[in-house]
A = this chain, B = another copy of it.
Amino acid sequence: MNLTTYPRRVRLIDVGPRDGLQNEKQPVPTAVKVELVHRLQAAGLREIEVTSYVSPKWVPQMADNHAVMQGIERRAGVRYSVLTPNMKGLEAALQDRPDEIVVFGAASEAFSQRNINCSIAESIERFAPVVEAARNAGIAVRGAMSCTVGCPFEGDIPPERVGMLARLMKDIGVQRVDVADTIGVGTPLKVQRAIEAVLAHYDIDHVSGHFHDTYGQALANTLAALQMGVWNFQCSVAGLGGCPYAPGATGNVATEDVVYLLHGLGIDTGIDLLALAETGAWISEQLGRPTGSRAGRALLARRARATSAGEQGA
């Protein structure tokens, strides 16, 4: 019956330390950020988006980028990536030797204007020398493409616009791209159309899915992307990172929920789900809020019941 094939292995990029924490109002201590990275790599994550090199005027939470990068005990086989919006950011990042830098563009003109204050074309022009300098320094380059399904200002985004952005990314030397549903409005067929447009310019190994769970659709979209052969995904432990356009709403899909799905499908991730759930519970406690991960919460509740039953039995 099941003619659907799934990838045998999936690589997850946890963006919690950067995308997840950047909008936190209260400053998160550098030591907590470093410990988060350590816990994630101990749980088996092999790609972690650590911090960004943007002006602390705009993103004060990331002002300790050097301290975080230098505080991490790096593990062999783990890729540490950072956001660099411009040459100044790249130059600062180079001091810390990330494995990969991330540049970001939007598939929506209105979002590009409001988010980074320039047109899509201008953003690409601005990134071109950053990409070139990074690659000359032997550092990999990833392109985050936001609003590939919908935009809070423009509504639905046609797949052609996503394809156009992917082509521009390819032209300036970006090696792989994220197809991000930034506001979480996507559903499976729409997400597949956006990915399909990107596949005209990048092969499947260089496309990752980045789905927000704002409308609860992230895992359905993940399943749809897996069915196309996508095997790289971004996610955020405990679902860190709310959606700035919907107060109280969920943003990034929780890494725990994605891992639960993948393991249930028999797909290898190399991740210890219980250790990951504990990491999610730990960082949520640090931030003084409940976890955004349903699987994490349910798994830890199940373990607590088992422990309590064992104690009663003893």
Contact = CB atoms under 8 A, between A and B. Distances in A.
Contacts of A295: 215-217
A245 interface: yes
Contact of A215 (B192, B222, B265, B298): B298
A157 interface: no
A116 to B, nearest CB: 21
Interface string A226-256: 0110000000000000010111111000100
Interface string A249-272: 110001001001101111000000
Interface stretch (A72-80, A133-141, A182-190): A182-190
A49 interface: no
Interface in A201-228: 213-217, 219-220, 222-224, 227-228
Given A216-B294, A302-B246, A261 B187 contact: yes
Contact of A223 (B190, B223, B247, B293): B223
Contact of A228 (B1, B216, B263): B1
A297 interface: yes
Interface in A59-118: none
A284 to B, nearest CB: 13
Interface residues of A, number: 47
A223 B192 CA distance: 14
Contacts of A224: 223
Contacts of A260: 187, 215-217
B2 A189 contact: yes
A31 interface: no
A4 interface: yes
23 contacts: A1-B196, A2-B189, A4-B227, A190-B264, A213-B216, A214-B294, A214-B298, A215-B257, A215-B299, A216-B261, A216-B295, A217-B264, A219-B219, A219-B220, A223-B224, A245-B302, A245-B305, A246-B298, A246-B301, A246-B305, A248-B297, A248-B301, A249-B301
Given A1-B228, A217-B295, A246-B305, 10 more contacts: A1-B196, A2-B189, A184-B298, A188-B264, A216-B219, A216-B257, A219-B220, A220-B220, A223-B223, A245-B305
Top 9 A-B residue pairs of the complex, sorted by shortest distance between their CB atoms: A187-B264, A216-B294, A216-B257, A219-B220, A246-B301, A215-B295, A220-B223, A214-B298, A249-B298
